[in-house]
Amino acid sequence: MSIYLQHFGLKREPFSIVPDPGFLYPSNHHRQAVAHLKYGLDREGGFILLTGEVGTGKTTLTRTMLKRMPPHIRVAYVLNSKLNVTDVLASICDEIGLALPTEGSEFRGLSFSKVCIDALNQDLLKTHAEGKKTLIVIEEAQNLSVDVLETLRLLSNLETNTRKLLHILLVGQPELLDILAQKELRQLNQRVISRFHLLPLEKDDLANYVNHRLHRAGAGRSLFDSACISVLFRLTDGVPRLINLVCHHSLLAAYATGAKTVSPRLVKEAAAEILGGKNTGAKNIKLAAVGTVVLLVAALIIIAVKKPEESSEPSVHHSSTQNTKLPLAERILEGNGPSTDRVSRGIQKISTASPFTGLLNLWSLDTPQIYSEEEFIAQANYSGLREVKMTAATLADLESINRPGIVWTKRYLDNNQSYFKSSLLRGLDKTNAYLQIAGQEVVVPRDEFLDSWSGLYLYLWQPNPNFKLLKVGDSNNLAVSWLQDQLAIINQSSERLITGGRYTEAIAQKVVRFQTEQLIKADGVVGRETIMRFSQLTNRQFPRLVREDF
Q: What is the DSSP letter of 383?
A: T
Contacts of 435 (CB under 8 A, 6+ apart): 329, 407, 409, 423, 424, 425, 426, 441, 442, 444, 449
Kindly report the CA angle at 517 between 516 and 522, in degrees rounded to 5? 15
Query: Is 470 part of a structural domain of the chain?
Result: no
Give the residue among 150, 173, 139, 170 at the shortest CA–CA distance from 85.
150
Tell me: do 504 and 454 sit in the same domain: no
Measured between alpha carbons, how far is 222 from 229 in angstroms, rounded to an integer? 12
Tell me: do 130 and 180 sit in the same domain: yes
Contacts of 108 (CB under 8 A, 6+ apart): none
Tell me: do 38 and 182 sit in the same domain: yes
Query: Is 546 part of a structural domain of the chain?
Result: no
Q: What is the pLDDT of residue 306?
A: 42
Neighbours of 13 (CB within 10 A): 18
Tell me: do 34 and 183 sit in the same domain: yes
* CATH number, domain containing residue 506: 1.10.101.10
Per-residue HEC secondary structure of 243-272 comes to HHHHHHHHHHHHHHHCCCCECHHHHHHHHH
Q: What is the pLDDT of residue 337?
A: 41
Measured between alpha carbons, how far is 453 from 279 in angstroms, rounded to an integer? 43
Tell me: do 192 and 128 sit in the same domain: yes
For each of the chain's 550 residues, which pLDDT tens digit applies? 578 888 888 988 999 888 888 888 877 777 788 877 887 887 777 899 999 999 888 988 888 888 888 888 899 999 888 889 988 998 898 888 888 766 554 556 677 888 888 888 888 888 888 888 899 999 999 999 999 999 998 888 887 766 778 899 999 998 998 898 888 898 898 888 888 888 888 888 898 899 889 988 888 888 998 889 999 999 998 999 999 999 999 999 999 888 999 999 999 988 888 776 544 433 333 333 334 444 444 444 444 444 333 333 333 333 333 333 444 444 444 433 433 333 333 445 455 668 888 899 898 887 777 767 777 888 888 778 888 888 888 998 898 888 999 998 887 766 666 777 889 999 999 899 999 887 788 899 999 999 889 899 999 988 776 666 788 888 888 788 878 888 888 777 777 788 788 889 998 999 998 888 888 888 888 888 888 788 777 765 678 899 865 4
Contact 146, 184 (CB under 8 A): yes
Q: Which of 305, 340, 358 is the last residue of a domain?
A: 305
Contact 161, 39 (CB under 8 A): no
Query: Is 502 part of a structural domain of the chain?
Result: yes
* CATH number, domain containing residue 98: 3.40.50.300
Measured between alpha carbons, how far is 515 from 537 in angstroms, rounded to an integer? 13
Contact 65, 169 (CB under 8 A): no
Q: Which amino acid is at 6?
A: Q
Query: Is 471 part of a structural domain of the chain?
Result: no
Query: Is 339 part of a structural domain of the chain?
Result: yes
Tell me: do 47 and 112 sit in the same domain: yes
Q: What is the pLDDT of residue 107?
A: 59
Q: Which of 174, 198, 222 is the last residue of a domain?
A: 198
Contact 258, 302 (CB under 8 A): yes
What is the rounded (10 degree) CA torsion for 84, 89, 93, 99?
-90
Query: How far is the CA of 295 from the CAs of 251, 258, 266, in angstroms?
Result: 11, 11, 12
Q: What is the pLDDT of residue 534?
A: 80
Q: Which of 239, 274, 305 is the last residue of a domain?
A: 305
- Give me the number of domains the chain comprises: 4
The DSSP element (H or E) to which 50 belongs, if any, is strand 46-52
Query: Is 1 part of a structural domain of the chain?
Result: no
The full length of the chain comes to 550
Report the predicted TM-score, pTM, of the whole model to 2 decimal places.
0.52
Give the residue among 528, 529, 496, 531 at the shortest CA–CA distance from 510.
496
Query: Is 312 part of a structural domain of the chain?
Result: no
Contact 239, 202 (CB under 8 A): no
Query: Is 547 part of a structural domain of the chain?
Result: no
Q: What is the pLDDT of residue 343?
A: 34
Tell me: do 216 and 231 sit in the same domain: yes
Print the domain residue range for 166.
26-198
Tell me: do 31 and 73 sit in the same domain: yes
Tell me: do 356 and 435 sit in the same domain: yes
Tell me: do 364 and 377 sit in the same domain: yes
Tell me: do 341 and 444 sit in the same domain: yes
Q: What is the pLDDT of residue 467?
A: 64
Q: What is the pLDDT of residue 247?
A: 93
* CATH number, domain containing residue 432: 3.90.70.10
Tell me: do 457 and 356 sit in the same domain: yes
Contacts of 418 (CB under 8 A, 6+ apart): 325, 410, 411, 412
Measured between alpha carbons, how far is 213 from 6 in angstroms, rounded to an integer? 16
Contacts of 235 (CB under 8 A, 6+ apart): 242, 246, 267, 268, 271, 275, 279, 280
Give the residue among 400, 131, 113, 200 at the shortest CA–CA distance from 388.
400
